[in-house]
Structure 1
Amino acid sequence: MSDDLEKLRSALKAATPDPDPAAKAAAMARAMESFDRHQESEGEARPISDRPNGTGFPTGVLKMLMNLTSRPALTATASVAALCVGLIVVVPAIQKERPGSVAVPEVAETARERAADASVPEVALSQAEPELQTAPADEEAAQADDVRTLTLAESAPAPDPAAPAAKMAEGRAGALADSDMDVRTLIGSAPKADATFAPALAEPNTEVFANEDANPVKSVTEEPVSTFSIDVDTASYSVVRSSLKAGYLPPADAVRVEEMVNYFPYAYPAPEADDAPFRPKVSVVPTPWNEGTRLVHIGIQGRLPALGDRPPLNLVFLIDTSGSMQDANKLPLLKQSFRLMLGELRPEDEVAIVTYAGSAGQVLAPTPASDQAAIMAALDGLEAGGSTAGQEGLEQAYAVAEGMAADGEVTRVILATDGDFNVGISDPDALKSYIETKRKSGTYLSVLGFGRGNLDDATMQALAQNGNGTAAYIDTLSEAQKVLVDQLTGALFPIANDVKVQVEFNPAVVAEYRLIGYETRALRREDFNNDKVDAGDIGAGHTVTAIYEVTPVGSPAVLNEPLRYQPAEAQPELAAEDMELGFLKLRYKEPGASVSQLIEMPIPVEPEAAGEDARFAIAVAGFGQLLTGARYLGDWGWDEVIALANGAKGDDPFGYRTEAVQLMRLAESLSR
């Protein structure tokens, strides 16, 4: 077929014959008859990949195909793709470059203008006009006709003062006629729109998210103690934002409320110099969605040491270069993100790069961060291709990291991937065991997710949670700046390990409670005092927020009937000023220590007015609950959450809170 194409191209480039009106009309009629005979398409369409175009299709046509995202449009997309292959041969004057996409309503006018300007023979214009004026019978036909019109418009020859358009059309028609290849045979070789062709245009969505059912309301008389591990990950919020900005509500499993709340920085009171590395603050505030309950707001502020006092940093970039990473929002965005990060490193820091696809390999030996040219050259040379040998990449990255580690330094592997582990260890439980054995060496593992479509959130969570690291999802360069520039110190330098929270509620005051979020971070009661049980870590300057909704004894909001044989335990006689709603305990380890330390404080009974930080955190918690079904919110909805968040934005220097309000408004529109 390639030889035939070369023959046809040579024929098209042949000298233009002298004008012959009769030959011109015959040739154009034959070409348009062949054009119309091969335009029909049937069935459903599917969206094509957004990967870089290497097919030779006109950019305008590809933009049109990329917009066909609905299930009913799938086969139409495949049919149009097959059609365009044929049209590239029938009308070889298709433009090679088009600056941007062309709106569909402008296509018809473009066809008329080009036909008029180029003096296309009347036979060609008459063939095009019915397509421009007749309304298609249905949406699929409209999409097919729009693409057909676009292709016809692009095929019109551009005006050339030195060669009249009539002569150009005549010459090309003559070349077709003189060619020793039957054009109709070539058109017939184009792939047809059928079930085997359509699936090749896009990869299936294989996203997997790690989540559990929302925490239920629990009776204090039956289960007075709540225990969980803190979480400073932010991946869920970024995934939610990515979905909303793409025009659809996120899957419920993608919404982890605690990660949405902890995405934002809060100005909680900082610890004193001689105190623990973080300071908790507890307040009881009114519940905006239920007058019969209250919210226990727990805010934790980590200490931020002077940046000049931080230890040297050893970083191993473990980069997924498999075929699934070739999209623009994956490997290209990854390179840009790491470029931003390099500017924050100090000369004594070191960087190494390990990649994995069909196999793993080290592409940059440990290099001083000051040698940015060498680091960027290694990054820029990365290309996507092959399967995903995740296990082999992890093993080599840890080996490199162990060789870089030294006393008094912080060593961390940063895995950048779309989460598609399909070679080696692919089971989250197996990954958990593997990472657990490696974290004992003192090397932390953080995970950065890129791209959508095959995001394996479950695997990424298993890696980060068991590697004493954090998980973030980077969907824009602005998010890369937030994670790798603005919050780099907190992301890379731990101040407390294995931080656990335990709250004991007073059954004389509280009838019921529920923890909002932290479903994947739940611990058993006995885990709190077990220093062998892993938990979350707090980085320098990190803030952590947790919110309980509690129902006072005697409130009409109590949901559970009292049990016949389980009366409330007798409580000691306390004066009103000595009454406690509950008791808060926190355990943590100093980095490198094996024995935990304990922080304790009572939770007051009387509610207080919520400050801006508490109100905004509560609004985001409500946002997350609305996205997952709002089972416990009653009639409280989008108008209320937007008003609450909008009134609590406070000082918002980077616009994070303003963006959250915009996302709430967008979610409201999409939920209708």
Structure 2
Amino acid sequence: MTPATADEICAPFLNYDNDEYDGRRYRPSAGSAYSGASPVPPPPPPPQSLQQPSPVVTGSRMQPAREEAADAIGRGRVGGYIVPRPPENRERYDGEEVAAIMAVAEEPVSTFSVDVDTGSYTNVRRMLNQGGIPPQAAVRTEEMLNYFRYDYATPRDRSRPFSITTDVTTTPWNGDTRLLRVGLRGYDIDRRERPAANLVFLVDVSGSMHSRDKLPLVQCSMAMMAEQLNPRDRVSIVTYAGSTKTILTGSSDRDEIIDALGELRSGGSTAGAAGISLAYDAARANMIEGGINRIILATDGDFNVGTTNRDQLIEMVEREREAGISLTTLGYGTGNYNEAMMEQIADHGNGNYAYIDSAMEAHRALVQELSSTLFTIASDVKIQVEFNPAFVSEYRLIGYENRLLNEEDFDNDTVDAGEIGAGHQVTALYEIVPVGNDGWLPERHFSANRTAPQGSDATDLAHLRLRYKLPGEDSSRLIEQAIGADAVANARAPQGDMAFVAAVAAFGQRLRGDTYLGTFDFADIRRLARSAGRPRDYWRGEFVALTELAEARSAPGGTSGGSKR
């Protein structure tokens, strides 16, 4: 039998509008939305009668049951792929309250762990595409910000593995405040520079993974990734359903890997913890000293057999990360998706979390950003900003609610924090109230409880500190950088990249029900995004279209979906 290829396995997902994929890159047809040749038009609402065809699996190849339905699904949709909303929604999310307003006189220091996850954005996109509004608990604004690329400078020296960009603009939704952006960009590496990788593809093949947007899309995703691997890399494949099974151990043969992926079938209950344990066994058996040792878990997160307690799973992945094995999670599917599990075990496993809603997203995460996904350039990265009360009276950090740290955690090298991969970018946004402007907090009744602005000889608006560890090091390194007070005096309306950042931040806040946006609505967000200029890529054009979907879904009589938790 001729070995399967990634484009054969992915064919049901990729051949919309005559787009092609050759295992390395997309070749969009002329005028296709995938080409990025023009801004993405507002997508029409999905027909009520549209049904997703079930894949027919023959050998290592999959064909859609009805090609005409597949074409209808792909044509004119944001993201290029839509699945119907399931009749029962058992999806699980762990939402955090919107971060509180801080008075600089009382809480001058803000400390948090970096986050390069993007799963919240793609999951929100999926829900909007399906005709609903995401539950507020599913929206993490920082993951929406970090989904996009910005014009941050490339680092000059790998001993300082990322550049730092700061700027201040006026706030589009509040004339009394300013936006302070902190941007990091990690150095990138050429594919040939990447260390050898010992990868374990841990695939959920339980009955809940039967639908087209689950196991078939997992097979496509991992086949794409396998096409990119080097001869020095080793791949093991472990599956789990009611029981666990090792399909492949330490193979460097691409054809063998892709063939094995193509033969996977779904059925049975979901013994996720047992699968994770077996995957760690496989990773240890093929350990590469000085290389990349990582498990890539692909599942809907619906563990229902064996250990299902999230805290126990977290303890397991924390133990293994100390041995040098990291864990990345890729989420798939609808209806029973357990995002709360996926995001947390990835964070504690020194990995990252992504949600894959289409073959295009799989290509983006596992081909275009493969080095970022695999190779960590800095670990336990923490950011700390100390505001000067002479210039700032109040502030709030937009997003990162589940990444907040205590002030004393910053200097404690035993406190786990986020990882930055090669080429990764991190964006943090503060909304600040300059001294003398109206803020959010009310005036206190007793004079002794009121803190008057103090005079200062300092000329700094804030002081920025970053801590990180280089690979293989146990002690952190420190970077410090002042942010001048003149940044507030010279603040102008956001333009270019910063206008787009502000639009994405506002979008996340609006979906979360953030009360600090006032009357700034989806139409305002769309205008702000468009003011950044012509979309540089498909993804930015798609964002503008999503604001229209969100506006339509939020209007009286619009549809909504999801649960609060």
TM-score range, shorter chain: 0.7 to 0.9
Which amino acid counterpart does residue 317 of structure 1 have in structure 2? F
- 1:668 corresponding residue in structure 2: 551
Q: CA deviation at 1:213?
A: 0.5
User: Does 217-226 or 349-358 show the bigger shift?
Assistant: 217-226
Mapped partners of 1:222, 1:619: distance in 2 = 30
Residue 500 (structure 2) aligns with: 616
Q: Is the 8 A contact 2:388 2:462 kept in 1?
A: yes
Contact 2:52 2:69 in 1 (8 A): no
Partner in structure 2 of residue 524 of structure 1: 406
- How far residue 428 of structure 1 moved from its aligned partner, in angstroms, is 2.0
Quote how far apart the aligned CAs of 1:619 are. 0.6
Whole-Å separation in 2 of the counterparts to 1:407 and 1:229? 27
Gaps in structure 2 of 5+ consecutive residues: 1-48, 57-64, 73-84, 556-565
Residue range with higher mean Cα deviation, 305-314 or 220-229: 305-314
- Find the counterpart in structure 1 of residue 102 from structure 2: 218
Distance 1:422 1:455, change over 3 A: same
C-alpha displacement of 1:262: 0.3
Change (3 A) 1:556 1:330: same
User: Residues 310, 669 of structure 1: CA spacing in aligned structure 2 closer, same or farther, 3 A cutoff?
Assistant: same
Relative contact order, higher structure (CA 8 A, sep 6+) = 2
| Cα distance between partner residues in 2 of 1:566 and 1:601 | 32
Q: Are residues 202 and 342 of structure 1, via their aligned partners in 2, closer, same or farther at CA, if it must alter by over 3 Å? A: closer
Q: Does residue 598 of the first structure (1) align with residue 478 of the second (2)?
A: yes
Question: Following TM superposition, by how much is the alpha carbon of 1:341 offset from its aligned partner in structure 2, in angstroms?
Answer: 1.1
Q: CA RMSD in A?
A: 2.4
Structure 1-normalised TM-score?
0.69
Distance (whole Å) between structure 1 residues aligned to residue 520 and residue 535 of structure 2: 26
1:352 to 231, 236, 259: 236
Cα distance between partner residues in 2 of 1:476 and 1:560? 47
How far off its partner does 1:293 sit? 0.3
Shift of 1:53: 9.5
Q: CA deviation at 1:558?
A: 4.1
| Structure with greater helix percent | 1
Give CA deviations for 1:24-46 in whole Å, capped at 9, x if unaligned: xxxxxxxxxxxxxxxxxxxxxxx
The question of 1:656 aligning with 2:539 is answered yes
Q: Is the 8 A contact 1:221 1:567 kept in 2?
A: no
> 8 Å contact 2:235–2:251 — kept in the other structure?
yes
Query: Is residue 2:137 matched to residue 1:253?
Result: yes
- Structure number with bigger Rg: 1
Matched, 1:332 2:216: yes
Q: Secondary structure at the match of 2:176?
A: coil
| Residue pair 1:315, 1:352 contacting (<8 A) in 2 also | yes
**Counterpart code for 1:496:** A
Separation in 2, partners of 1:651, 1:50:
30
Aligned to 2:28: none
Which residue of 379, 387, 396 maps to 1:497? Answer: 379
Report how far residue 425 of structure 1 moved: 2.3
The residue aligned with 2:262 is: 380
Residue 341 of structure 1 corresponds to: 225
Amino acid in the other structure paired with 1:548: Y
Task: Tell me the equivalent position of 1:583.
Answer: 463
Q: State whether structure 2 residue 339 is matched by structure 1 residue 452.
A: no
Inter-CA distance 48–388: structure 2 relative to 1 (3 Å threshold): farther
Aligned-pair identity in percent equals 46
- CA 1:221/1:662 → structure 2, altered by over 3 Å: closer, same or farther? same
- 1:275 Cα deviation after fit: 4.8
**1:300 match:** 184
- What is the deviation of 1:570? 7.9
Q: Which amino acid aligns with 1:595?
A: S
1:507 and 1:568 in contact (8 A); partners too: no
Name the aligned partner's letter for residue 226 of structure 2. Answer: L
SS at match of 2:497: helix
Structure 2 residue corresponding to 1:436, chosen from 309, 315, 318: 318
Counterpart of 1:511?
Answer: 393
Counterpart secondary structure, 1:594: coil
1:346–1:519 CA distance, 2 compared to 1 (3 A) = same
Q: TM-score, normalised by structure 2?
A: 0.81
- Tell me, yes or no, if the aligned pair for 1:417 and 1:450 is still in contact at 8 Å: yes
* C-alpha distance after superposition, 1:30-72 (max 9, x if no partner): xxxxxxxxxxxxxxxxx99968499xxxxxxxxxxxxxxxxxx
* Alignment partner, residue 78 of structure 1: none
How many angstroms does 1:233 deviate by? 0.3
Aligned-residue offset at 1:98:
11
Alignment of 1:474 with 2:325, yes or no, is no
Alpha-carbon separation, structure 2, partners of 1:644 and 1:99: 38
Paired residue type of 2:541: T
Distance 2:375 2:209 in 1: 28
Distance in 2, matches of 1:405 and 1:496, equals 21
The CA deviation at 1:225 is 1.1
Q: 1:570 to 1:215 in 2, by over 3 A?
A: closer
Residue 70 of structure 1 is matched in structure 2 by none
Distance in 2, matches of 1:391 and 1:409, equals 25
Write the mapping of 1:536-555 to structure 2, written as runs, cut at 5 A: 536-555=418-437
Report if the CA contact (8 A) 2:435-2:453 is conserved: no
Q: Which is strand-richer, 1 or 2?
A: 2
CA distance in 1, matches of 2:105, 2:368: 45
Letter of the structure 2 residue corresponding to residue 283 of structure 1: D
CA distance in 2, matches of 1:669, 1:202: 21
- Give aligned pairs, total: 481
Q: How far has the Cα of 1:99 moved from its partner? A: 6.8
CA distance in 1, matches of 2:191, 2:86: 47
CA deviation string 1:83-125 (max 9, x = no partner): xxxxxxxxxxxxx999769x9xxxxxxxxxxxxxxxxxxxxxx
Q: Secondary structure of 2:316's partner?
A: helix
